[in-house]
Amino acid sequence: MRDFFAVVAKHPVFEWAITICICLNTVVLSLAWYNMNENIISVLEVLNYIFTGIYTVEMVIKMIAFGKAYFHDGWSVFDFLIVVSAWLGILLLQVFNIDVGSISTIIRSFRIARVLKLIKAAKNLQ
């Protein structure tokens, strides 16, 4: 089973799909402005949940594929922390009705740092 997940995690289509998600998520995160329409806010929240789900699936696939070695890679640890903090923010808001407003924005902005991962991938293509 672990071999299957390793093949998936290393497959170029999987890597490109995650790269596209990172780019789209960056665009979505940049689509915020003062006095936004409530409908737009709702759409952006749903998109945030979708991207959180995608990144969670990516994390789980890689954790199964690489086991403990997953935590030996700095980018993987960074991704893990972002995913866990995103779920923590969702949990606090949806279950306990605690609005973590500015903290949530800061955590989401760290997702943009995943773009740096794309630069690393571009160097590997050379």
Domains located in the chain, CATH noted: 2-125 (1.20.120.350)
Counting residues of the chain whose pLDDT is more than 90, the rounded percentage is 40
Residue 35: per-residue pLDDT = 85
Instruction: Return the H-helix or E-strand segment holding 57.
Output: helix 38-66
The token pair at 119 is 């630069």
Q: How far apart are CA 59 and CA 66, in angstroms?
A: 10
Task: With a cut of 70, list the residues of the chain below it in pLDDT.
Answer: 99-112, 115-118, 120-126
User: What pLDDT is attached to residue 95?
Assistant: 81
pLDDT given for residue 4 in this prediction: 96
Q: What is the chain's alpha carbon radius of gyration, rounded to the nearest angstrom? A: 16
Q: Using a cut of 0.75, tell me whether the model's pTM lies above it.
A: yes
Quick one: tokens of 19?
């790269």
| pLDDT at 7 (0 to 100) | 96
Digit-coded pLDDT (tens) for 54-81: 999 999 999 999 999 999 998 899 889 8
Q: Is-contact 65 2, C-beta < 8 A?
A: yes
Q: Rounded to an integer, what distance in angstroms lies between the CA atom of residue 63 and that of residue 69? A: 8
